[in-house]
Structure 1
Amino acid sequence: MDLFNLDDVKEILLIPIRPGMEDTIAWHYDAKGIFTVKSAYQLGVKLRDEALSRDASSSAGPLVQHQTWRSIWNQELPGRVLIFFWRFTHNSLPTKLNIKRKKVDLDTRCPVCWRLDEDGGHIFLRCKAVKQVWRALDCEDLRLSLCECTNAKQVADKILSLPKEKRLLAIILLWDWWTARNKANAGERMASTDDVCFRIRKHHTEFCPQEAPV
């Protein structure tokens, strides 16, 4: 009575008990009652699909969002790049300001330019160093159009709407820049614009061998 309300108590008392049987912990999502990672994964997928189905029937917003996530995973890029872009779209990358929101006391200045606070918009689009990379790859017009977006998902949607070659190049640019940023954040020397662009072109050729050279 101290732990459950009256309605729960009534339901608990209705549970049939077999005399002589010991209590055991059972995972009722498995036919044998045994917990496995596989059964937990299958349950998660089922619950996700049911939630998406309910949301899609109630409003168009979640359906459009689901299409964005599906579009990300359909890109012809390595899994590590897609995981990065998925996190980018969710604004869940550990930028300085995102870490600050977790109540961590730290210097929130960009580890590349050390001038302004680091959020996704700054590190990927507005930092003076990343601007040089966009320009060197003849993507300045795209960068300016992305700067007009108000959140990470809008940026991702705009990138996903681009022609294939430009779309994959933009995703690889963001990924390689994040890698360069992480090295600088760890205290290593910041890569030059030429070095970053070389890696972007190399990965673009490696990941997208059928695409025209940049």
Structure 2
Amino acid sequence: MLSVVPQREVIALWAKWYEVRGTLAAYDWFRPKAERKLWPRFVWKDFVPQKYSFTTWQDVKGRLETKATKDMLGYMDMDQNCPLCKSNIEPAYHHFLKCNKTREVWTAIKGWLGLRVTINTIPSAIKWMTKKKASVVIRKTRRLALMTVVSLTWRTQNSLVHEGTSFEPKHIIFEVKKLAYATLYTIYPHDYVQMYLGV
């Protein structure tokens, strides 16, 4: 463009652009566009305990260690079955969403929150929860519940594998509700929280 068009015309075009759109529009035009990520704003919130945010962040980024990833790193002699249900090969999304044991947890939590959506992956759940309109109490509860289930499922599975403890879905459901109520009661009046979530 500069070699074909005289410099005066280029300066005139830029001046016209600047008058109409400004410097920010010029930078936006030159800046490469990337896919918009919804999960950073979803995961990192002050009211969510950092240990739950961190585990969810690791899962969304694909950095949680599973038997499938250990197999890729050379741990060939490991049992590739899910330690919870003993049936399927264990990628990360299996033990959070597809395993029979964790599905029991999700069914109870979704029923408690009135969710009728099928959750296939954690990023798709984050995308849906970000875009779905609801009261502030329900939005915060959904966020807390998702990240708490991910973290507690991950920790419970590791305890099962390394320490031989048992996986109790009712315990995880209780812990999710306990954290949600405790957190929300510090932010909002009890009556306001109970109006949306019940007792």
Q: Which TM-score bucket, shorter chain as reference? A: 0.5 to 0.7
2:181 paired with 1:205: yes
- For the Cα contact (< 8 Å) 1:90–1:153, is it kept in 2? no
> Deviation per CA, 1:20-45, whole angstroms, max 9, x where unpaired?
xxxxxxxxxxxxxxxxxxxxxxxxxx
- For the Cα contact (< 8 Å) 1:172–1:200, is it kept in 2? yes
2:145 paired with 1:153: no
Which residue number corresponds to residue 78 of structure 1? 49
2:141 paired with 1:165: yes
Residue 124 of structure 1 aligns to a residue whose secondary structure is: helix
RMSD: 2.8
- Alignment partners' CA distance in 1, 2:147 and 2:90: 20
Which residue number corresponds to residue 3 of structure 1? none
2:51 paired with 1:115: no
Residue 145 of structure 1 aligns to a residue whose secondary structure is: coil
Distance 1:191 1:129, change over 3 A: same
Q: Which runs of 5+ in 2 are unaligned?
A: 1-26, 133-138
- For the Cα contact (< 8 Å) 2:85–2:101, is it kept in 1? yes
| TM-score where L is the length of structure 1 | 0.62
Offset, 1:129: 0.5
2:159 paired with 1:186: no
Structure having the higher helix fraction is 2
2:152 paired with 1:176: yes
Higher RCO, Cα 8 Å, sep 6+: 2
Distance 1:95 1:141, change over 3 A: farther
- Alignment partners' CA distance in 1, 2:96 and 2:116: 9
Q: Which runs of 5+ in 1 are unaligned?
A: 1-52
> Deviation per CA, 1:161-184, whole angstroms, max 9, x where unpaired?
452322221221222221211111
Offset, 1:57: 1.8
Distance 1:195 1:72, change over 3 A: closer
Residue 172 of structure 1 aligns to a residue whose secondary structure is: helix
Distance 1:91 1:129, change over 3 A: same
Identity of aligned residues (%): 19
Q: Match for 2:104 among 129, 132, 137?
A: 132
How many pairs does the alignment contain?
A: 155
- Alignment partners' CA distance in 1, 2:108 and 2:168: 12
- Alignment partners' CA distance in 2, 1:160 and 1:175: 19
Residue 58 of structure 1 aligns to a residue whose secondary structure is: coil
- Alignment partners' CA distance in 2, 1:75 and 1:89: 19
| TM-score where L is the length of structure 2 | 0.66
- Alignment partners' CA distance in 2, 1:172 and 1:134: 11
Which residue number corresponds to residue 72 of structure 2? 101
Amino acid at match of 2:59: F
- Alignment partners' CA distance in 1, 2:79 and 2:113: 29
